Amino acid sequence: MASMAEQLASNVNLSAFSKATELKKRIWFTLGALIIYRLGTYIPVPGVDAAIMAELLAKHQGGILGMFDMFSGGALGRMTIFALNIMPYISASIIIQLMSSAMPSLEALKKEGEQGRKKLNQYTRYLTVFIALFQAYGIAVGLESMQGPNGVSPVIHPGMFFIATAVITLVGGTMFLMWLGEQITSRGVGNGISLIIFAGIVANLPGALVSLFNLGYTGALSPIFVAIFLILAAVTIAFIVFMEQAQRRVVIQYPKRQVGQRQYGGDSTHMPLKVNTAGVIPPIFASSVLLIPVTIAGFLSSDSTPSWLAFLGQEFGQGRILYMLFYAAMIIFFSFFYAAVSFNPKETADNLRKQGGFIPGIRPGANTATYFDTILTRLTTIGALYLVAVCLLPQFLINHYNVPFYFGGTSLIIIVSVTIDTVTQVQSHLVAHQYQGLLRKSRGAKGKKR
């Protein structure tokens, strides 16, 4: 069966794609949903002066606002209804996932199958509303206290009415994006939430390329450096593709069983363990935590900024030695933390023993759990060092050579991982379509014989 699936996957071509009407409907639905999302990033929040807001964001581009504006596809800089983007939902999902490993009641829900998953999704939605309300209120109050370069507030008519309007608009935009992402996942192709972030980053890449070429054209950057940078970006993308697909396959053996005169079992399979188990979460968390003091120090006036906060804002600026060291350390910490939460060696070993499976040469139970833990530690070490290398090298180029922010390691990892996942799902739909075609042909042949 496995060899047949591989043969079908290798025979997938354009003719097979043209016949897969269901897949084409899914792709068109996905594209339509993403177009709706992009249109929403240009609908402004009522009562905000977009010109002053753009000036403020340009001033704080190197802080946490710049990173969130990148993930939102420029919606935060334009202060539109999708300014919060899907980030509250991602934060809620991570919190629920962490709590489900620490709280026995939530952990029991994870083991209840489909019904438990629906319950956890409901809790995630409730938490998303709470986080979005908190963030939207903070943005609304923060906008009223901000002042542009000329001392003008970006809020046209401050007051409770503006705060209420902004909170309702921003929360409503986030909840709509959450619903849209779920619709893409169920009726389209790929993971809807990931595709929304992907679309926001990719939408700004043409502008980033134009900005890079302008720097080379005006002489701010050497044309040779621009060419070397593009080659380096291509090599980095190839390296990310390799590392995101890299995995350690642990061989699992199932014993043979004799039932009457027939033998069952004795199959050998493998359990794939990814090198980068944590994905893109460690760089996002590390960037968010480290950029908070820089952003706060930037919003406060020089007279009101405490000395310790001014020191943090200066020394933890992007490109500084302390920033680089702490950034690398926090990526490594979050990589191990998330890997420990997402994969439980003891639970995996117990489930394997209950199913009658074992690793050749390793005794079931505690020894298998120790074996899994050793492999996971080694893989996570490699994955964490890979994330540090990919994130720090573009960071150095961005801050020392004024390369556009969208060429950062975090954005490249998101683009590559989402692309790989989407292409894999497209291939799965094509293989399933070819299976259905073979079944129809076999049934038709049997009918003719009769």
- Residues 290, 377: one domain? yes
- Residues 285, 395: one domain? yes
Q: State the alpha helices, DSSP H only, in 146-278.
A: 160-187, 192-203, 205-218, 223-245
- Residues 25, 173: one domain? yes
> Token pair of 294, please?
């820089």
One pLDDT digit (tens) per residue for the chain, 450 residues: 444 344 444 444 555 666 677 888 888 999 999 999 999 888 888 888 877 777 777 666 555 566 677 777 777 778 888 888 888 888 888 788 778 777 778 778 877 777 888 888 898 899 999 988 988 888 888 788 777 667 777 888 888 998 899 999 999 999 999 999 999 988 988 888 888 888 888 887 887 788 778 877 887 777 887 888 788 888 888 888 899 888 888 888 877 665 556 665 567 788 888 888 888 778 877 776 776 665 555 555 445 555 665 666 666 666 677 778 888 888 898 888 888 877 888 888 888 888 778 888 888 888 888 988 999 999 999 999 999 888 887 666 666 665 655 556 778 888 888 888 888 888 887 777 666 655 565 655 555 555
- Residues 301, 226: one domain? yes
For residue 13, tell me if it sits in a domain: no
Nearest to 427 by CA among 12, 5, 7, 2: 12
For residue 134, tell me if it sits in a domain: yes
- Residues 149, 35: one domain? yes
Q: Write down the pLDDT at residue 301.
A: 47
Taking only the tens place, the pLDDT of each residue in 101-145 is 777 787 788 777 778 888 888 988 999 999 889 888 888 887 887
Taking only the tens place, the pLDDT of each residue in 183-210 is 998 898 888 888 888 888 888 788 778 8
- Residues 154, 238: one domain? no
Q: How many CA atoms lie within 13 A of 399 on its CB side?
A: 15
Q: Write down the pLDDT at residue 164.
A: 92
Split into its structural domains, the chain has a count of: 2
CA distance 375 to 377: 5
CA distance 328 to 388: 6
Q: Please name the residues in contact with 281: beta carbons below 8 A apart, sequence gap of 6 or more.
A: 94, 334, 338
- Residues 182, 326: one domain? no
For residue 193, tell me if it sits in a domain: yes
Query: The domain containing residue 77 runs over which residues?
Result: 19-201
334's enclosing H/E stretch is helix 321-342
Domain boundary (174, 201, 228) is at 201
Domain boundary (141, 167, 201) is at 201
CA distance 351 to 360: 16
For residue 4, tell me if it sits in a domain: no
- Residues 251, 187: one domain? no
Q: Write down the pLDDT at residue 400.
A: 62
Q: Write down the pLDDT at residue 407.
A: 56
For residue 442, tell me if it sits in a domain: no
CA distance 235 to 118: 41
Q: What are the two backbone dihedrals, phi and then psi, of residue 343, each rounded to the nearest 5 degrees?
A: -130, 120
Q: Write down the pLDDT at residue 143.
A: 80
CA distance 88 to 175: 9
> Token pair of 180, please?
């849209």
- Residues 149, 284: one domain? no
> Token pair of 11, please?
């025979």
For residue 209, tell me if it sits in a domain: no
CA distance 22 to 342: 33
For residue 267, tell me if it sits in a domain: yes
For residue 172, tell me if it sits in a domain: yes
Nearest to 421 by CA among 237, 267, 257, 190: 190
What is the DSSP secondary structure assignment for residue 219, as one 8-state letter?
Answer: T
pTM equals 0.78
- Residues 386, 291: one domain? yes
CATH code at position 47 = 1.10.3370.10
- Residues 176, 269: one domain? no
Q: Write down the pLDDT at residue 49.
A: 80
- Residues 191, 311: one domain? no
CA distance 89 to 86: 5
